[in-house]
Amino acid sequence: MNQPAIMKKSNKSASYYAWVGVFFLSLAILIGALYYSTIKIDYVWRWYRIPQYFAFKEKIDIKSQVTGRISEISYQKGEALIVVKTDGEDKTYAVPEGDIKVSEGEYVNHGYVLAFYEKWKPGILIQGLWLTIEVSIISTLLGILIGLIGGLARLSSNPAFKWASITYIEIIRGSPLLVQIFIWYFVLGTLINTILDKYGISPIPPLWYGVAALACFTGAYVAEIVRAGIQSIHRGQVEASRSLGMTYAQSMRYVILPQALRRILPPLAGQFISLIKDSSLLGIIAIRELSKATREIVTTSLQPFELWFVCALLYLVLTFTLSMFVQYLERRTAV
Amino acid sequence: MIEVQNIYKTFLVPHRVEALVNVSCKVEAGAVVVVIGPSGSGKSTLLRCLNHLETADSGKIIIEGIDTLDPKTNINKLRAEVGMVFQSFNLFPHKSVLENITLAQKVVRKRTKKESLEKAFSLLNKVGIKDKANVYPDQLSGGQQQRVAIARALAMDPKIMLFDEPTSALDPEMIGEVLDVMKNLAREGMTMVVVTHEMGFAKEVADRVIFMDMGAIVEEGTPEHFFTNPENQRTKLFLSQIL
Ligand SMILES: Nc1ncnc2c1ncn2[C@@H]1O[C@H](COP(=O)(O)OP(=O)(O)O)[C@@H](O)[C@H]1O
Ligand SMILES: [Mg+2]
């Protein structure tokens, strides 16, 4: 964007910096006040306990699968080779050096722990975060598909398509997402899974009802965005392409939608940022996404303050990344 | 060849307008017909009915022997044979000049990339802007944009070209370059229907002039007839205003 020359010049007065100071001071006071009041109620901040919920080291035992005597332990490049001599074939185990529980000449039974190693595992917060990402991506893609079809149907002159689209959009936009999730899970889910059960098919897990609820919810808003985007393209564009002999579909695909897309990218991004945040509601139907995962740890760890702040921060990272990505797309698609 | 027989077109939204009232006319192959008339007289509507951007309510429109109002007629096929140039150019802003001209060749005429590029370059040459092939429309002047629009329409190898006030949105100094392209086209024998108020163009290349008012054809004749002894009172009044 071109800013007027007046704005570009950084001719900031002393009062400007004073107000910048006021801003940071207020921020500091707010945080200080929060901290002070937590001290007042004897809340003990234990930030050091938080990393384990991101990733933790798991101890994995290496057990002997045979019975015999340790005939040799040799070391090479940080690794140790343990040879167990048996009546039949000898067995060799490669284990990390340093964590060896046995010594040469020792007799080991089947299942005896020879050594162990540690492995990093994703913690419950990361697992929740990953599920949130997964659910958001799938719902976004489905939402785009539904929204595109819904938006085109909304503009159709065929009353069946048009009215179906209007009904869908109005119903979805007129009821709370929470209620829609309940309907998907407790009404449609029960119905579908019971019927599937009758035919001996295994039930669909709750995750998919959650995804369906989010996708349908987002689809309705995307449909309205798509409709507005298409309508914002000048009528002359359709006329020019149709006058060249293009079909409705060709004109949409090559002329109208590419132009509309550029205009709907910003509102679309806002919609998908909402979707990421709304996915936190899925916890109520036992989907262990980020906020449900946080709630679970809070009940066991009793560190609610730290955990809820971390949870909020993780959502912020997701939404911020998405909006950066969309800004990049906008710059790329600009002529 | 175009034959229009007794067509009517009434718009109901936003309010009732009888845009075309019992219009009949004929454009022989290779003829150039100029349509003139005051604003709102139905000139655009007539042109748009010819390639079905509007559908006439009743009457008959026969183009190259095909009854276009017959529901069985493939309108997309018909449109590919009838090129149209708009007052506001309507180039595709997200596509380069070259892509503007090759797009419909590829998706409608199913030409290969090579064929469509060759065609595009020869047409850009013809309209005199081959150095702008890779530029986007918003980097062109109005006159250049309109010439690209003409090239885009010609790329389909149409049998008929319709022009709806092609120079009305142009700065005066650019009108000439667009009219020159159209005159050349007329001399090559293209069948053309041109809505314009450029009477110089009519004088030079038109075979016939049609004067429309209030949705009807009021007077029809050679350019000389219009310049020397127009008969109808409304024609006289209109010509006195634009000449
Ligand atoms: N799509 C439309 N919907 C409603 N009215 C229209 C439409 N197109 C044209 N009209 C009306 O029909 C009349 C003729 O318009 P038009 O053919 O554009 O005239 P001209 O091109 O001669 O200026 C005008 O009164 C105009 O308002
Ligand atoms: Mg007009």
| Cβ contact A193:A167 at 8 Å | no
Q: How far is CA B75 from the centre of its chain?
A: 17
AA identity, residue A228: A
CA distance B107 to chain A (A): 7
CA distance B102 to chain A (A): 11
Tokens linked to A231: 């309508």
Cβ neighbours of A335 in B, within 8 Å: 93-94, 136, 138
Give the chain A residue nearest B74 (alpha carbons): A245
Please report where in the chains the tokens 């958001």 appear, as a residue.
A136
**pLDDT for res A1:** 45
Tokens linked to B164: 């709806």
**Beta-carbon neighbour count of residue A293 at 10 Å?**
26
Q: Give the CB-side neighbour count of residue B93, counting CA atoms within 13 A.
A: 17
Distance B164 CA to ligand 2 centre (A): 7
| Cβ contact A254:A241 at 8 Å | yes
B8: left (phi over 0), alpha (psi -120 to 50) or beta: beta
Tokens linked to B98: 């070259």
Residue B51, chain A, CB below 8 Å: the answer is yes
Residue whose Cα lies nearest atom 17 of ligand 1: it is B42
Give the chain A residue nearest B110 (alpha carbons): A246
Give the chain A residue nearest B49 (alpha carbons): A243
The CB of B16 under 6 Å from ligand 1? The reply is no
Residue whose Cα lies nearest atom 26 of ligand 1: it is B40
Residue ranges of chain A with pLDDT lower than 70? 1-10, 334-335
CA distance B52 to chain A (A): 8
Distance B161 CA to ligand 2 centre (A): 16
DSSP chain B: -EEEEEEEEEE-SSS-EEEEEEEEEEE-TT-EEEEE--TTSSHHHHHHHHTTSS--SEEEEEETTEETTSTTS-HHHHHHHEEEE-TT----TTS-HHHHHHHHHHHTS---HHHHHHHHHHHHHHTT-GGGTTS-GGGS-HHHHHHHHHHHHHTT--SEEEEESTTTTS-HHHHHHHHHHHHHHHHTT-EEEEE---HHHHHHH-SEEEEEETTEEEEEE-HHHHHH---SHHHHHHHHHH-
Averaged pLDDT, groups of 10, chain B, 243 residues long:
96 94 96 96 96 95 93 92 96 96 97 97 95 95 97 97 96 96 96 95 95 96 92 92 82
The CB of B44 under 6 Å from ligand 1? The reply is yes
**pLDDT for res A195:** 95
Distance B38 CA to ligand 2 centre (A): 9
Give the chain A residue nearest B78 (alpha carbons): A245
Please report where in the chains the tokens 């009528």 appear, as a residue.
A235
Residue B49, chain A, CB below 8 Å: the answer is no
Interatomic CA distance for residues B234 and B243, integer angstroms: 14
**pLDDT for res A7:** 53
Please report where in the chains the tokens 């007027």 appear, as a residue.
A4
**pLDDT for res A92:** 84
**Beta-carbon neighbour count of residue A292 at 10 Å?**
20
* 3-state secondary structure (DSSP) of residue A115: strand
AA identity, residue B161: M
Cβ neighbours of A239 in B, within 8 Å: 53, 84, 86, 90
Interatomic CA distance for residues A102 and A91, integer angstroms: 15
| B53–A234 CB contact, under 8 Å | no
Interatomic CA distance for residues B91 and B93, integer angstroms: 6
Interatomic CA distance for residues B131 and A230, integer angstroms: 33
pTM equals: 0.80
Q: What is the CA radius of gyration of chain B?
A: 18
| B107–A250 CB contact, under 8 Å | yes
CA distance A38 to chain B (A): 57
pLDDT digits (tens, 9 = 90+) for B135-165: 999 999 999 999 999 999 999 999 999 999 9
| A234–B90 CB contact, under 8 Å | yes
Q: Which residues face A95 on adjacent strands?
A: A80
The CB of B200 under 6 Å from ligand 1? The reply is no
**pLDDT for res B20:** 97
